[in-house]
Amino acid sequence: MLSPGFGLLPPDVTADRVRLRTLIVLRWLAIAGQLAAIVLGVQFYGLLLPMGLCLLVVGVSVIANLIAIFVFPENRRLSDVEAMLLLMFDLAQLSLLLFLTGGLTNPFALLVLAPVVISATALALRTTIVIGLVAIFLVTLISIAHIPLRFADGTVLKVPEIFEFGFWLAIMIGILFLALYSHRVSAEARSMSRALLATQMALAREQKLTDLGGVVAAAAHELGTPLATIRLASTELMEELIDQPALRADAELIRAQTDRCRDILKSMGRAGKDDLHLRRAPLATVVHEAAEPHVERGKDVRFEIGPGMGGSDRQPVVKRSPEVVHGLRNLMQNAVDFARSTVWVDVEWSPRSISVTIMDDGQGFPPQLIGRIGDPFVRQRRETDDAVKRPGYEGMGLGLFIAKTLLERSGAQITFANGADPFLADDERPERCGAVVEVIWPMSVLQDDPDQVLGANRPNAA
């Protein structure tokens, strides 16, 4: 329901995510680790390393960091291409250092995973694939050609070929697995973040509409007295000017326009008032308000409202919150969209709970997705019949996610199911054979005390 096309989400909330300062700090840590490893290898283990070349390679990273610090601002955010080039530079620098220090016999070769994981976490998938392929190529290259490690007495540090091959294979598997894992986790986190942003915007929009209705209703209330006075005065003028048709016509025009102003303000104020009495309503009123935009869309929407087992005949008065209204409205829109002809809305209450069950006679939820309903951005290829029924629908799953999130925020528990086996023939399916959504609130959470003293109304907020 809410997608970037509707202007509720940024066109690309994932663009320019990586800060240059983050990569600079990570590179300083890598430089410190490389220098420490070189010094320890030479001083404590007596390794013969090409110190000049090793320090030159580390110095290149130092120079690159200093250039980045003095040329670019600290808050600079990198595009995918810029971040990819920096990570590939780090890969090349580390690979060259490994080439000088024993290749895969150097245990620090495992650090080639770091740029790949960073890319998979923060960059696009195609960028991660490029960096992963470069890492695989460089690791394979240094496993074939490298300068072997030597001790002070000239002994060459040699490991069995099977261990060297196993280390190479472990790095290859690590690149593939960690890249896939990190990308999947970060993508799900970003999707959830975008969906929550859309939910907050939807709720804010609903609240703004409610506040706007309150302002209009307050204006209608305040202008009611002067408009009534004008109408009374114009009526008296009409009686006194009965022998002056021209002036009487002007008085009639004044009264007609006064009535018109009254009717306009009355119709604009139907959205609601900022009156504390309207912050609560009977349960049936709240359900009908949620369904109102969809009852005239060509489908038969049937309401069955009554007490459940042990419930009182007195209908509960509930809190009329934007979360409840907007969440139920999304569920009802989904039912009306996919129903063949009829939607049932069953409302029941008991001493402990209130339940609203929405059912339709459509095809029901796809069996392969019923376990994921309520997750944001669940994509599915649209069938031809579905495209005809809902020509503008993109099938992102965001509408159900918003409904689920808003209703759960109000204290409800939601279950999704199908009214019948979707693989049954049409003549074997029961009347209520489509999707079934049950929303249950604890009575103590949703019910409002009708005898409670509300106090003075609060001023309207413009």
Supply the pLDDT for residue 1.
Answer: 35
Q: How far apart are CA 323 and CA 277, in angstroms?
A: 18
Segments in 378-439 forming alpha helices (H)? 384-389, 398-409
Segments in 241-272 forming alpha helices (H)? 245-268
Structure confidence by residue, pLDDT tens digits, 124-164: 888 888 988 999 999 999 888 888 888 877 788 887 888 88
Of 79-93, 255-269, 388-402, 448-462, highest mean pLDDT: 79-93
Residue 253 has pLDDT above 80, yes or no: yes
For residues 358 and 246, which has the higher predicted lDDT (pLDDT)? 358
CA pseudo-torsion sign 7, 295, 325, 370: negative
Residue 291 has pLDDT above 80, yes or no: yes
pLDDT (average), residues 378-406 = 56
Q: How far apart are CA 109 and CA 102, in angstroms?
A: 10
Q: Please give the structure tokens belonging to residue 319.
A: 């809190």
Supply the pLDDT for residue 345.
Answer: 92
Supply the pLDDT for residue 267.
Answer: 66
Q: Per mean pLDDT, which range of 64-68, 275-279, 424-428, 450-454 is the poorest? A: 450-454
Contacts of 301 by beta carbon, 8 Å cutoff, 6+ apart: 291, 294, 295, 332, 336, 342, 343, 345
CA pseudo-torsion sign 365, 331, 1, 184: negative
pLDDT (average), residues 100-115 = 86
63 burial (CB, 10 Å; 0-12 / 13-18 / 19+) is exposed
130 burial (CB, 10 Å; 0-12 / 13-18 / 19+) is middle
Strand 300-307 vs strand 342-349: parallel, antiparallel, or unpaired? Answer: parallel
Contacts of 357 by beta carbon, 8 Å cutoff, 6+ apart: 344, 345, 346, 347, 348, 436, 437, 438, 439
DSSP annotation of 271 reads G
Residue 238 has pLDDT above 50, yes or no: yes
C-alpha of 105 from chain center: 46
Structure confidence by residue, pLDDT tens digits, 1-34: 333 333 344 434 444 567 888 888 888 998 998 8
- 3-state SS, residue 391: coil
Supply the pLDDT for residue 208.
Answer: 63
Structure confidence by residue, pLDDT tens digits, 172-225: 998 888 888 888 887 777 776 666 666 666 666 666 655 555 566 666 666 777
Q: Mean pLDDT in the chain?
A: 78
Supply the pLDDT for residue 258.
Answer: 84
Structure confidence by residue, pLDDT tens digits, 317-353: 888 787 788 888 888 888 888 888 899 999 999 888 9
Number of H helices, E strands in the chain: 12, 11
Structure confidence by residue, pLDDT tens digits, 356-378: 999 998 888 887 777 777 666 55
Supply the pLDDT for residue 356.
Answer: 92
For residues 99 and 382, which has the higher predicted lDDT (pLDDT)? 99
Percentage, residues of the chain above pLDDT 70: 76
Supply the pLDDT for residue 203.
Answer: 64
Only one residue has tokens 């939820």, namely 365
197 burial (CB, 10 Å; 0-12 / 13-18 / 19+) is middle
Residue 118 has pLDDT above 70, yes or no: yes
Supply the pLDDT for residue 453.
Answer: 46
Q: Which of 368, 291, 372 is nearest to 325 (CA)?
A: 291
pLDDT (average), residues 288-304 = 87
